[in-house]
Amino acid sequence: MSQIFRRSANTFTRATIFGTLFILGFAGWAIDRLSRSDYATRATQARQQPVPFSHAHHVGGLGVDCQYCHTTVETSAFANIPPTKTCMNCHSQIWSTSPTLEPVRASFRTNQSIRWTRVNDLPDFVYFNHSIHVNKGVGCETCHGRVDRMPLTYQMNSLQMEWCLECHRNPEKFVRPREFITTMGYQPSGDQEVIGRKLVAEYKIQNARTLTSCSTCHR
């Protein structure tokens, strides 16, 4: 009886088996990397806006406080985008003829809101209340990053669930005193763990079990 397979079939088979393992392992790694990548989450990608508003200029350069424009961050579930009137407080006086700012003036004249493109958008199946986070000592910077260094606004973090849980599981690693909420580049005045634990107790932040309960965020 003649041989059906050549001798090289042995090598070929071994290479195929190990090759399959290797390819599957690589595919798993690639999917893992891709699903967390900025490409998938759109983090660090500046969005096109009707007016090229620069946080770097207004916050970093001029030192305008976050809450001068975003007035409801402490009181509302939704952190507001300022109305055109807020822009016009200054821009009726300065840069009042700049062509770049024409959409702002047009909005003011016609009473039609500027249609900003939303940057930080959580999925609709997540219940998110902005005010509770601010009131419990989560700084702007903690989620939004160094806004004072963003010429065009981009989302700093992945907004994936594992990112939310990082803080919900260990809030003491992230909270800061309320007076430093809007501070950019905040440095704790000692050991963050120690300060954080004290603040968690002081602000009556719920334990990790409650913070990570399904229905805390998925209601």
Partner 1 sequence: MADDRQVIDAPSKKIIAPGYTFGTVTDQIASVVLTRKTPYVVMGTFAVAMGLLLIFLLAVGLLLTKGVGVWGLRGPTMWAWDITNFVWWVGIGHAGTLISAILLLLNQQWRNSINRFAEAMTIFAVACAGMFPILHLGRPWLMYWLFPYPNTMGIEPNFRSPLVWDVFAVSTYATVSVLFWYVGLMPDLATLRDRSEHRALKVTYGFLAMGWRGSAKHWAVYETASLLLAGLATPLVLSVHTVVSLDFTVGIVPGWHSTFFPPYFVAGAIYSGFAMVLALAIPLRSVYGLKGLITERHLDNAAKVMMATGLIVGYSYIMEAFSAWYSGNVYEQAAMWNRMTGPYKYQYWVLVACNVIAPNALWFKKVRSNTVVLFIWSLIVLVGMWLERFVIIVASLAQDNLPSSWRVFESTRWDWATYLGTIGLFLFLFLLFIRLLPMISIFEVRTLLPQAKIKEDSRG
Residues in contact with partner 1 by the rule CB under 8 A: 1, 4-5, 9-10, 13, 32, 35-36, 158, 160-166
Closest approach, Cβ 36 to partner 1, in A, equals 6
Q: Is the Cβ of residue 1 or residue 94 nearer to partner 1 in the bound state?
A: 1
Closest approach, Cβ 143 to partner 1, in A, equals 16
Residue in the structure block whose two tokens are 């700049």: 98
Q: Is the Cβ of residue 165 or residue 195 nearer to partner 1 in the bound state?
A: 165
Closest approach, Cβ 214 to partner 1, in A, equals 9
Q: Is the Cβ of residue 131 or residue 212 nearer to partner 1 in the bound state?
A: 212
Contact between 142 and 192 under an 8 Å Cβ cutoff? The reply is: no
Closest approach, Cβ 160 to partner 1, in A, equals 4
Residue in the structure block whose two tokens are 């959409």: 103
Q: Is the Cβ of residue 12 or residue 78 nearer to partner 1 in the bound state?
A: 12
Residue in the structure block whose two tokens are 């107790």: 201
Q: DSSP readout, 5-21?
A: S-THHHHHHHHHHHHHH
Distance CA 73, CA 9 (A): 68
Distance CA 18, CA 207 (A): 47
